[in-house]
A and B are shown apart, each in its own frame.
Chain A
Amino acid sequence: MLDQIWFPLYFTFWIAIVSSLLVLCSGVIIAYIFARRDFRGKKLAEVLITLPLVLPPTVIGYLLILLMGKNGFIGHMIYNVLGTGIMFTWQAAVIAAYTVSLPLMVRTTQAAIEAVDKELEYAAYILGRSEIETALAITLPLAKRGILAGLVLSFARSIGEFGATLMLAGNIQGKTNTMSISIYNAFQSGNDELARVLVLILILMSLLAIALTGRFVGKIEA
């Protein structure tokens, strides 16, 4: 049974860590642009980024397949470069987790950046600091708690991801079965003991995430 717990646990964490790192890097940049720039189509871009938050995960999975499958726009390019598709691989699980958790990061971080007084940024510009220097030295450090809260939320969302992952990465034992998928498998095959252990682990992890988020978010509001 240890084997049946170990792989999904390790796999889920691996997916969540890789996805969260990608979410952190891209989410902060997107959030900064949303918070500090005005451009044509900004509202549309914001809606598109937020959409996965409200769409059913199976719909997201389906759309991702359209995009990432061999005949999809991105999938086709990947196939041309790598000679192989990414459907049913761990990378596909990362893409699914990334897509559903990015809006959490962007929304939380954007709010935190918008809360940073613009005059502080102007003060830095007047002292000769460039926009990138100012973002790195002033804006982001001051939005730190929001970014951390977003990161915790994204990480938790990645760990719990089920629907989109199932559709994009499949349910391949020992290859793409995350914790959530393993619980479903165990329950389906009548292995209640395994299901219970996995459920317990996920509950503990979620509680931890809530505790951490509560701390960060609480401090932002205070």
Chain B
Amino acid sequence: MGVKVDIKKWYNKAEIDGKKSTQKAFMLDINFEMENELVVLFGPSGSGKTTLFKCISGIMEPDNGIIAVGSNVYYDKNKKINLSIQKRNLGYVFQNDTLFPHMNVRKNIECGLKNWKKENRETRFMEVLDLLHIEELETRYPSQLSGGQKQRVALARALAPKPEILLLDEPFSALDTEIRTKLAKKIKTLQNKIRIPLLFITHNLEEAFLLASKILVLHGGKAQQFGTQEEIVYSPRNRHVAEIFGLSNIFDDAYVKERDEESKSTILESGSMQITVKYLNFRVRDEVCWGIHPENITIIPPESGFEDQNENLYLASIKSIINKGPKKRIVLKLVKHNKILNAEIPAQFVDSLKLHASDSCLVKLEMSKVVAFYCF
């Protein structure tokens, strides 16, 4: 059973606020397919993540396209299908606490089981209590629960009617890191148990990497890239994706000089600098960007060799060293190419090499770690 989403939606900011405003029309243009897996939706605020959820759940109607979960078509513009919220069999946990404050935990969970036969209802109720380890909360009211407990109950309530897809909109954003990580792990094991498609919105990179079997990156209402963690971090499709996932040291002055099928590599020229990267789907003379994560830069003492551009080995001078807890940020200047790189190196290593500002050193940019992509 898979999920297919291919929707477009236009709207004016003015319509949302109910006020006249000159803000440009925002467009949602998202297209992806997923299996029974855990997909994380990642993107800055205002990128359309929650709007996408509202379209899938039926709270909002897209202007065009199709939304299907398994064999159920929720929305199809051409066939004029638009199921009501009630008829879409999905679970939704909102960012804010949406437990019904005047009902205890049992009543909250049973709200989704009203159409079930009485004997099945009780069994199912006990099952979800057990699944989320909230047996002892049965008679409590939401105001008597902690933040973490509330979100467990919200999850139990969403899962109780056996939904065919689960939508989680930053469910843990209000919780502190420790509980957050614990619950994120819980979600992962839960997904393995229930085996339904699960979409999870988060702002938190760590959470995204912990959870995702795939990541859908959104920016400005558009799906930028859909792929595994490895693909998104090391083969971002464009600069938006690269930056969202923490790539820095980005240079936009490069073009493809050569592609070598034998050694499966691509050679870029970036100003006076030459750099070898993975074999990528570029054409010769394409203008591209390249960058490298600060923690993937290796520093070598100068006495161990000379600059060798074919090996991505460059001579550099240390501009400054900044303490960042267990790591040190080292600002490097590539001497011959007039480029600045920020590296993050474990503090211990920096100390053992006795590195100081204005020292010179060699910088190695591992070919497999250098990220290259079309700028736009």
Tell me whether A130 and B86 are in contact (CB under 8 A). Answer: yes
Determine if A125 is an interface residue (Cβ-Cβ < 8 Å): yes
Determine if A128 is an interface residue (Cβ-Cβ < 8 Å): yes
- CB-based nearest A residue for B115: A128
List the A side residues contacting B114 at CB < 8 Å. Answer: 128-129, 133
Tell me whether B111 and A129 are in contact (CB under 8 A). Answer: yes
Band of interface residues on B = 20 to 34
How distant is B185 from chain A, measured CB to nearest CB, in Å? 25
Query: Would you list which residues of chain A between 27 and 59 have a CB under 8 Å from chain B?
Result: none
Interface of B is mostly: loop
Tell me whether B111 and A142 are in contact (CB under 8 A). Answer: no
Scoring A residues 137 to 151 as 1 if CB is less than 8 Å from chain B, else 0, what string do you get? 110011000000000
Determine if A126 is an interface residue (Cβ-Cβ < 8 Å): yes
Interface centre among A123, A126, A133, A137 (most CB of B within 10 A): A126
Tell me whether B86 and A141 are in contact (CB under 8 A). Answer: no
Determine if B90 is an interface residue (Cβ-Cβ < 8 Å): yes
Determine if A119 is an interface residue (Cβ-Cβ < 8 Å): yes
How distant is A114 from chain B, measured CB to nearest CB, in Å? 13
Given A141-B102, A142-B101, check contact A119 B85 (CB 8 Å).
no
Tell me whether A125 and B86 are in contact (CB under 8 A). Answer: yes
Out of A126, A129, A137, A138, name the residue touching B57 (CB < 8 Å): A126
Tell me whether B92 and A123 are in contact (CB under 8 A). Answer: yes
Determine if A115 is an interface residue (Cβ-Cβ < 8 Å): no
- CB-based nearest A residue for B84: A125
How distant is B57 from chain A, measured CB to nearest CB, in Å? 6
Out of B90, B100, B115, name the residue touching A120 (CB < 8 Å): B100
How distant is B320 from chain A, measured CB to nearest CB, in Å? 48
How distant is B201 from chain A, measured CB to nearest CB, in Å? 15
Q: How far is the CA of A164 from the CA of B88 in the complex (A)?
A: 52
How distant is B206 from chain A, measured CB to nearest CB, in Å? 27
- CB-based nearest B residue for A130: B86
Out of A117, A125, A133, name the residue touching B85 (CB < 8 Å): A125
Tell me whether B98 and A120 are in contact (CB under 8 A). Answer: yes
Q: 8 extra interchain contacts, Cβ-Cβ under 8 A, other than A117-B98, A124-B111? A: A124-B100, A126-B86, A126-B91, A126-B92, A127-B161, A128-B115, A138-B100, A142-B101
Give 5 A-B contacts (CB < 8 Å), ordered by A residue: A122-B94, A123-B92, A124-B100, A126-B86, A142-B101
